Structure 1
Amino acid sequence: MSDDAPDVLVLRTGTHGTPIEQYADAIRDRLPDHTVDLARTPAEEREAIENARFVTGMTLEEELLAAADSLDVFACAYAGTGHLPLAALEDRGVTVTNASGVHGPNIGEHVVGAILHFTRRFHVGERRQRRREWRHYKATELQGSTVTVVGLGAIGQAVCTRLEPFGVDTIGVRYTPEKGGPTDEVIGFDDAAFDDALARTDYLVLACPLTETTRGLIDREALVTMGPESVLVNIARGPVVDTDALVAALRSNRIRGASLDVTDPEPLPEEHPLWTFENVQITPHNAGHTPEYYDRLADIVAENRRRFDESGPDAALENVVLP
């Protein structure tokens, strides 16, 4: 560790099983004239953060924040920031940014893959392959389907972009529908409009943050409204879906299937019934994995550090979530 405060301090927690050293190196490559230090132990973190003004990491506990006497910017390495002590950061006047946009390509591809999995019924083919059973089965086409995307942030937009070549009709759901979006229709969370969209939906993609509005959004009534040929794809947060209602809908054949990258609870317990459905695809919160994660994140963080150099704490940074 350097004696003086580094220009960028990287905290020790990594993600997706990729060494955090790769993240620090990616920032160094983009900021060759800056000092970028990686704190690899708790003691190094406590020592280095005392005078650091610009810090980046996956998380920041309140105890460590209390030691940060000079902190101006915390660049969260996740898109979600609900795990951070936001109230304490706000009280300290710390600007918080996130990793919005980093996941667009990989999660967009994950969603398209999940949709095609059900469209062409690959799960049925896999089951018959395991049984060495050469027997035809019916499949469907994606073309002409209606895909509803709840959440038109960076991930939702990436999903819509990747769906364009498939000839689908798209409905976007967002808090401010007047902003428009990359879908054929854009609606809000108004009950009547949302219910009407669900009734027309073949594939429902959840790409929204977890808020008071979206918690439990897909409940029993929503699942009944969706219809028996519809498929749910959740890459948002588990509690956006009422899990008990989803299990009941699957048992009653109220929907055709579900692709779940997130669940409630999470991790999904071994004895949970969702594991047992042949028309449920489960991935362990893995849609966000990409070998490009640290490079894309470093692009954002390096640009924000340059802006910070020019304007200090009042700089107009990318991806600000606080204040």
Structure 2
Amino acid sequence: MGDQDLPGVLVSGFEGPSGICKDHVGELQKYFNLITVQDLLENKTQVGPKIQAVYIWNRKPAIDQELLQSLPALKIVANAGAGLDHLDLKLIASFGVKVANTPQAVSSPTADMGMALLLAAARRVVEGHQLATSPDTKNFSTNWLGQEVTGSTLGIIGMGSIGYKVAQRARAFEMNILYHNRKRRKSEEEEAVGATYCERLDDLLQRSDFVMLAMSLTPQTQRLIGRRELRLMKPTAILVNIGRGLLVDQDALVEALQTGVIGAAALDVSYPEPLPRDHPLLKLKNVTLTPHIGSATHQARWQMMENLIGSILASLNGLPIPNEVLLK
């Protein structure tokens, strides 16, 4: 624990893959007394009442009823990132606690990652690297081919801030852009990126050369892409997922990739994460996998931290909370 005169903020810890970013600790300690989960577990009676905010980094610490009951002074749960599927928002609200996240900080780097995966899968970059560096390679075949990106059709499922930034980038590649969203965008927003709305998801799947998932995980979107949806896609189509692994029926995806129902997949997310080391997705040449790094840039992570500080301070001072998450 740090300066006892500063507001207490619960963090997962300072070490390991779930710990907060070491580069951020000094900045956070200017404003808060950082209290780890271990500190709390060792002395709930004394430490619990000091905690006014929970700082969630890499989905940790987990928020459950027992934790909420042990923090009588808690005012806000500040979550790094845009996704909220790991939080029970109704439970948190029932304790009179606010929630904030950092959607603006993650939208541009995640859109960049979506395009990187699309390009890598289309041009078989990972396979090409392996071929170029293999000690067994004697020559390069002129008939080793990928898919053209320029002029192709991209279907974006989920046209929020990330999906829209993907569309902006795709337009520079002269792609034809389709999108499916819970709510249609304004006509001027569509025109700005040359996007066409598909009210029916099936239409988008049938027409797209690339399908990109850029939506939140909810009970309604879980396994949105299953065996039926994959069979609607072109046999040359490439599925890109920068949302959450559970948006896709993973068993159906493996089958589709193994049998040529679709051409390839590029995934920044899976379930679980990481996949078991014997998972079939790890053995397929037509799969590009990255370790959930959509927002993993120095700049984005620093902005996320700054946004969380701002939201916590606003909450503690009774001011409007930037990026407050409201129950729908």
If the length of structure 2 is used for normalisation, what is the TM-score? Answer: 0.83
Deviation (angstroms), 1:24: 3.6
Match of 1:134 among 137, 140, 144: 140
Residue of structure 2 in register with 1:319 after alignment: 323
Q: Which moved more, 1:12-21 or 1:120-129?
A: 12-21
Give the equivalent residue in structure 1 for 2:254: 247
Mapped contact 1:94–1:322 kept (Cα < 8 A): no
Tell me by how many angstroms 1:178 deviates: 4.8
CA RMSD of aligned residues (A): 2.7
Among all aligned residue pairs of Structure 1 and Structure 2, give the percentage whose two residues are the same amino acid. 28
After superposition, the C-alpha distances for 1:198-238 in whole angstroms (9 at most, x for unaligned) are 11101111111112321121112211111111100111111
Task: Judge conservation of contact 1:74–1:94 (CA < 8 Å) in 2.
Answer: yes
Aligned pair count? Answer: 311
Equivalent in the alignment of 2:12: 12
Write the letter of the residue equivalent to 1:317. Answer: I
2:45 is equivalent to residue 43 of structure 1: no
* Residues 169-216 of structure 1: per-residue CA shift (max 9 Å, x gap): 11222111155655433546x5xx211111110111111111232112
Indicate the larger mover: 230-239 or 207-216.
207-216
* 2:119 paired with 1:116: yes
1:147 aligns with 2:150: no
Summarize deviations over 1:133-156 as a string: whole Å, max 9, x none: 322222343111111111122322
Q: State the shift of 1:309 in Å.
A: 6.0
What residue ranges of structure 2 are gaps of 5+ in the alignment?
A: none
Match of 2:227 in 1: 220
Q: Secondary structure at the match of 2:71?
A: coil
Distance 1:178 1:283, change over 3 A: closer
Matched residue SS, 2:154:
strand
* Contact kept? 2:100, 2:322, Cα under 8 Å: yes
- Separation of aligned partners in 1, 2:56 and 2:117: 30
Q: Which residue of 2 aligns with 1:283?
A: 290
What are the within-5 Å matches in structure 2 for residues 199-278 of structure 1? 199-278=206-285
Letter in 1 for 2:125: F
Unaligned runs of 5+ in 1: none
Per the alignment, residue 194 of structure 2 pairs with: 184
Q: 1:297 to 1:147 in 2, by over 3 A?
A: same
- Aligned 8 A contact 2:48 2:71 in 1: yes
Aligned match of 1:168: 175
Cα distance in 1 between the residues matched to 2:93 and 2:19: 30
Secondary structure at the residue paired with 1:289? Answer: coil
How much has 1:281 moved relative to structure 2? 0.8
TM-score, with structure 1 as normaliser? 0.85
Distance 1:141 1:91 in 2: 51
Please state if 1:303 is matched with 2:310: yes
Question: How big is the shift at 1:8?
Answer: 6.0
Task: Name the CA distance, whole Å, in 1 between partners of 2:127 and 2:162.
Answer: 29
